[in-house]
Amino acid sequence: MSTPQEQFQQFLDLQRADYKRGLPEKLAHLQTLWAAVEAGAAPRALAELERLAHTLAGTAGTLGLREVGLAAKSLEVLLAQAGEGGGVLTPEHQSGISLAVAALQASLPRD
């Protein structure tokens, strides 16, 4: 019979595995939003992108996916800075955010 701590660890392991399986879809949605923002979508898309990065950062960190969490947090910070300009992105914003999206993609677990 397993202890409550072992049962909780099993629960966390299942949550982590489910989350990892869903990461490619979440990132695809994030990339779609970023493409819409780059194409001149309304500031709502930028806000939604920031919210998604925030959620990814928090959940990944909670479930022990440190690299994903850090990459998503970096993206979130850049998006927040860009949003302070009323949704008008400078070339520097666009470049930084594109790099952060690529870094997030690269941080996804390979297993």
Domain-by-domain residue ranges, the chain? 4-107
Mean pLDDT, rounded, for 74-97: 88
Domain 4-107 in CATH 1.10.3470: no
Long-range contacts of 94-100 (CB under 8 A, 24+ apart): 94/38, 97/34, 98/34, 100/71, 100/74, 100/75
pLDDT digits (tens, 9 = 90+) for 19-37: 999 999 999 999 999 998 8
Residue 64 and residue 22: Cα distance in Å, rounded? Answer: 15
pLDDT band for 46, please (50, 70, 90 cuts). Answer: confident
Which secondary structure element, helix H or strand E, spans residue 11, and what is its range? helix 4-38
Identify the pLDDT of residue 90: 87
Whether the CB-CB separation of 101 and 75 falls below 8 Å is answered with yes
Could you give the percent of the chain with pLDDT greater than 70? Answer: 98
Q: Which of 3-7, 19-23, 30-34, 85-89 has the lowest mean pLDDT?
A: 85-89
Q: Residue 87 pLDDT > 70, yes or no?
A: no
